[in-house]
A and B are shown apart, each in its own frame.
Chain A
Amino acid sequence: MRAATELLSLLQTTGSSTANARLMRVPLWRADERMADDISGLTLPTGFAALDRELPGGGWPQGQLIEVLTDDAGIGELSLLAPALAQLARAHRCTVWVLPVDSAPAHAPSAAPAIAAAQPIPYAPALATAGLDLARTIFVKPATPREGLWAAEQSLRARHLGAVVSWLPPGIGSAFRTLRRLHLLAQRHQTLAFVLRPTSHALAPSPAVLRLQLAAQGTQLAVTLLKRRGRPLLDPITLALRPAHWEHAQVDTETLAPQQPPAAAWPQWLSRVTPAATALLGTRRPADEVLV
């Protein structure tokens, strides 16, 4: 109380510049500063310095719901999450992926009719190359939106789970209440909880602490922070997710001269094998077999 009156008298009596100088030493948060790191709790570096600089606490908040809004599959939405997931894999933490429902594609319903026909699945060799631990990753392919939500909730209940990556299916009652449930469950064991949704939900209210909207910018990814703790950020952050030489890479279509398709992909060395081996392999010409 005394301190407050002192502060008031200080503000009234001294000039504004001195007041500012004095205020610097008071532990006071001002609205134009980013929120102090200790408020945001545990975070995990995203692996992108430009993004880390703008996120409170310097990374993905753990134990908080993170909403990733994206329409077009293939702009780098998973590459954005991959460094954090790889980091969890190095710490031997487990990850659960709740994939989109097959019948009602949550991802890119109108823009990409070709993809909507059959949902793509995470590709194991690429995940392994990205540093994810496949032996500690569970994939769930729900049949109904409700099953997907249930699986995400069950996963968040498990202790020691590193992260849950979930495509939130549309049309499960109230989206706000659904997200709120996930958010509260994520707090239990400080799980990293990513929810991927279409950008049509950008204006809808959400309990998520961090909301990102993704858009492609050339081969780069433009990340707009729709919501974060502290001061809002208006300009999108541009992240280079792809190898640098992809930036202006182009295939010269002229070099793709029409080639004669091979008559048979029968390796050269087989022509040199002994007649006995040829007899063993059968009497048919190899070309007939391959081009059935």
Chain B
Amino acid sequence: MALWLALLLPALPLQLAQRALPQPLQAALPLAIVEGPPQRLQVSYCNAAARAAGIAPGIKLAAAQALACELVALECNATRERAALAELACWAGQFSSQVVLQPDGVLLEIGGSLRLYGGHAALHGTIAAGLAELGYEGALAEAARPRAARMLALAQMHGVAARTLQTLPLAVLEWDDATVQTLHALGLTTLGDVLRLPRESFAQRFGAEQLHDLDRICGRRSDPQPFFEPPARFAARLELPADLTEAAQLMIPAQRLLAALEGWLRARDAGTTQIDFVLGYSPNRNHAPPPTTIRIALAAPERDARRLAALLAERLSRERLPAAAVTLALNVDCTQPFAAINASLLPQPASLNVDWLQLAETLHARLGSERVFQLQTVDNHRPEHAWRAVPLALQIGERASPPCAAAAGPRPLLLLPSPQPLAGNEESQGETPTYASEPLALMIGPERIETGWWDHAGPASGSPVRAVHRDYFVARSRRGQLLWIYRELAAPRGWFLHGLFA
């Protein structure tokens, strides 16, 4: 059986401005939404702080500014509201595949989702908690018909405690004022009164369209709805009404956007590996700093808003913003199928992997792939080519090294990135090398490594030939350090330090 849930957001322009603000600023900052011709701007909505300063809907902007000097006045913007409703519909897609856009909210068909979410109360709770994460306050009501659900939610918005359709006031019908006034003049105040009127005479007096509307409310006439099509790319944007310079303050609007993203990804049963945050700035003396893009790349598809927020916080703490941001946008271009971590009978391996992935991603997000890596052995006789650094694996233990032939001689635990010439490079053959101006005692050796004759690097890389002709020794310094040194067999026959037996 179809069951519709209406989710309406009262005073949407004001909520849009408020949701971008952190809680303490929401309560302290007087905020007013104004509309009208530019010369006669009127306050249409204002928040509690503005109301406390004496501002009420209907007064002029100039008067409001006189009452509260730090008043932030924002103009109504229908495009922004439509975008916000589309974002809400994207988010609501996780609860139902049938979402209908309304001018001030959305309608969801939840009959098919009740079992999944564990009943009416649980679903209501989940949706209400999700709305709070998005930063909205809304009215929720459910009914068997979409029109009725909307009317019950409207009644809730206006503070009318009506549980049944019969007792609803006529205002929630959203008919034109003349009709409602005529009905009031006839002594009819509730929907029940209107429904008791004879059908034929009602149609003659008020028109067939109104009768059809009543039929749709009662289910006597079908009421097809145009469903919302979620977009293939996610793009959401928030205007920041106050200057937010600190990273911690920016996290609040960012969390709102990430909550919407999570809903959209859940609806598509997907995750994403790359999200872009774009911070826009207001022009200062006709010069606007270019927008900052913060890209968060993930090792595995992710959709958990809390984890994404934690990664963003790491990035934001490093970022230096050129000015106070005025807009925050979140874009996701591509999605990947999301593989949830399944509960297993033996929990250890799965949670091990989750731990590994979380640690790898946390390190990777802040330090980048050049600074966080894993090592692999490579089957090569040349010591400097016998290893390589590889990016972090997604799966624990994935970067297993290929099997390698055991080295002929001892190998040091620490290797210098490039061999360093040692003093004692005299031409005299058999001269012992010195390290830190002390002679070295050769202990083990020589181990001849003479290979790589086929390997020619391009002119771009440092050394033209990567063939090695070397005699390796283990040497001991006066301080007791064991060093891995070699003697070049080619022309200058120099001694080089290559490793440390740490």
Q: Which residues of A contact B (CB under 8 A)?
A: 72-79, 82, 92, 94, 96, 111-115, 117-130, 133-143, 147, 150-151, 154-155, 158-161, 215-219, 242-243, 246, 249-251, 253-254, 256-259, 261-262, 264-267, 286, 289-292
**Assembly CA distance A69 to B7 (angstroms):** 64
Query: Is B473 within 8 A of A251, CB to CB?
Result: yes
B100-135 vs A, CB cutoff 8 Å, 1 = contact: the mask equals 000000000000000000000000000000000000
A267 to B410, CA, bound (A): 26
Q: Which of B389, B410, B441, B482 contacts A76 (CB 8 A)?
A: B482
Which of A119, A121, A129, A154 is the one whose CB lies under 8 Å from B411? A129
Contact A122 to B414, CB < 8 A, known contacts A77-B502, A155-B359, A253-B432: yes
A260 CB to nearest chain B CB (Å): 9
B483 touching A140 by the CB < 8 A rule?
Answer: no
Check if B416 sits within 8 Å of A115, measured CB to CB. yes
CB-based contact A216/B442 at 8 Å: no
Chain B 357-395: CB-based contact to A (< 8 A → 1; otherwise 0): 011101100110011111111100001001111001100
Is there a chain A Cβ closer than 8 Å to B429's Cβ? yes
Report yes or no: A265 in contact with B363, Cβ–Cβ below 8 A: no
Q: In the bound complex, what is the Cα–Cα distance between A24 and B449 (angstroms)? A: 64
Asked if B411 contacts A126 (CB within 8 A), the reply is yes
A210 to B471, CA, bound (A): 41
Which of the segments B142-150, B248-256, B398-406 contacts the partner chain? Answer: B398-406
State which of B372, B422, B430, B436 has its C-beta within 8 Å of the C-beta of A138. B372
Expressed in whole angstroms, the minimum distance between the Cβ of A172 and any Cβ of chain B is 16
CB-based contact A219/B375 at 8 Å: no
B218-233 vs A, CB cutoff 8 Å, 1 = contact: the mask equals 0000000000000000
Contact residues in A for B374 (Cβ distance below 8 Å): 134-135, 137-139
Complex Cα–Cα for A249 and B360 (A): 44
Please tell me if B37 contacts chain A, counting CB pairs below 8 Å. no
Smallest CB separation, B106 vs chain A (Å):
40
Q: Is the CB of B482 within 8 A of A160?
A: no
B63 is an interface residue with CB less than 8 A from chain A: no
Whether A137 and B375, one on each chain, are in contact in the complex, defined by CB atoms closer than 8 angstroms, is yes
Query: Per-position contact with A for B61-104: 1 when CB-CB < 8 Å, else 0?
Result: 00000000000000000000000000000000000000000000
Asked if A73 and B414 sit within 8 Å, CB to CB, the answer is: yes
Q: How close is B457's CB to chain A, nearest CB, in angstroms?
A: 11
- Residues from chain A with a CB closer than 8 A to the CB of B376 are 124, 134
Contacting pair B359 A135 (CB below 8 A): no
Answer whether A125 and B404 are a contact pair too, CB < 8 Å, given A114-B435, A139-B372.
Answer: yes
Of the listed stretches B156-164, B183-191, B259-267, B489-497, name the one at the interface; the rest are far from the partner chain: B489-497
B502's contact among A74, A124, A249, A290, by CB below 8 Å, is which?
A: A74
When distances are taken between beta carbons in the complex, the residues of chain B under 8 Å from A159 are 351, 355
Q: Is B286 in the interface zone, CB < 8 Å from A?
A: no
Complex Cα gap A262–B452 (Å): 14
Q: With an 8 A cutoff between CB atoms, is B456 at the interface?
A: yes
Cα A184 to Cα B414 in complex, Å, equals 30
Please name the 10 residue pairs, one residue from A and one from B, whose CB atoms are nearest each other, closest first: A216-B480, A124-B387, A74-B481, A74-B500, A120-B414, A123-B415, A251-B442, A258-B429, A78-B502, A126-B411
The chain A residue with its CB closest to the CB of B418 is A118
The stretch among B288-296, B330-338, B461-469 that forms the contact with chain A is: B461-469
Nearest A residue to B404, CB-CB: A125
User: With A114-B435, A159-B351, A290-B453 in contact, is A135–B415 under 8 Å at CB?
Assistant: no
Query: Does B420 sit at the interface, judged by CB under 8 A?
Result: yes
Asked if A94 meets B396 with Cβ closer than 8 Å, knowing A125-B386, A161-B359, A254-B430, the reply is yes
* Distance A136 CA – B398 CA, assembled complex (angstroms): 8
Q: A125-B404, A128-B401, A154-B359 are in contact. Are A261 and B489 (CB under 8 A)?
A: yes
A139 near B375 with CB under 8 A, answer yes
Q: Is B319 an interface residue (CB 8 A)?
A: no
A76-B411 contact in complex given A138-B359, A246-B443, C-beta closer than 8 Å? no
- Tell me, in angstroms, the Cα distance from A228 to B443 when the chains sit together: 35
Return 20 A-B CB contacts under 8 Å, by A number.
Answer: A72-B477, A77-B502, A94-B396, A111-B479, A115-B416, A120-B499, A120-B502, A121-B415, A124-B388, A126-B411, A134-B401, A139-B389, A140-B363, A158-B358, A161-B355, A216-B480, A243-B410, A250-B441, A256-B430, A290-B467
Docked Cα-Cα span, A277 to B465, in Å, equals 22
Residues on A with beta carbons closer than 8 Å to the beta carbon of B370: 141
| A155–B476 alpha-carbon span in the complex (Å) | 35
B441: A residues at CB distance < 8 A: 250
Query: Which of A74, A115, A117, A254 has the most C-beta atoms of chain B within 10 angstroms of its own C-beta?
Result: A74
Report if B451 contacts A (CB, 8 A).
Answer: yes
Cα distance, A267 to B375, chains bound together (Å): 32
Closest to A215 in B: B480
Determine the residue in chain B with the shortest Cβ distance to A118: B417
Name 7 extra pairs, CB < 8 A, besides A96-B359, A135-B396, A155-B363: A128-B401, A134-B375, A135-B397, A138-B363, A251-B473, A253-B430, A291-B465
Whether the pair B453, A266 counts as a contact (CB closer than 8 A) is yes
Q: Which of A111, A142, A218, A265 has the most B CB atoms < 10 Å from its CB?
A: A265
Q: Which residue of chain A is the closest to B501 with respect to CB atoms?
A: A74
A residues less than 8 Å from B499 (CB atoms) = 120, 123
Minimum distance in angstroms from B262 CB to a CB of chain A? 24
Bound CA span A130–B411, Å: 10
Q: Is the CB of A73 within 8 A of B480?
A: no
Taking the closest CB of chain B, its distance from the CB of A142, in whole angstroms, is 7
Check A262 against B430 for contact (C-beta < 8 Å): no
Contact B375 A117 (CB under 8 A): no
B473 and A139 contact, CB distance less than 8 A: no
A265 to B469, Cβ gap below 8 A? yes
Give A187 Cβ to nearest chain B Cβ, in Å: 17
A147 to B389, CA, bound (A): 20
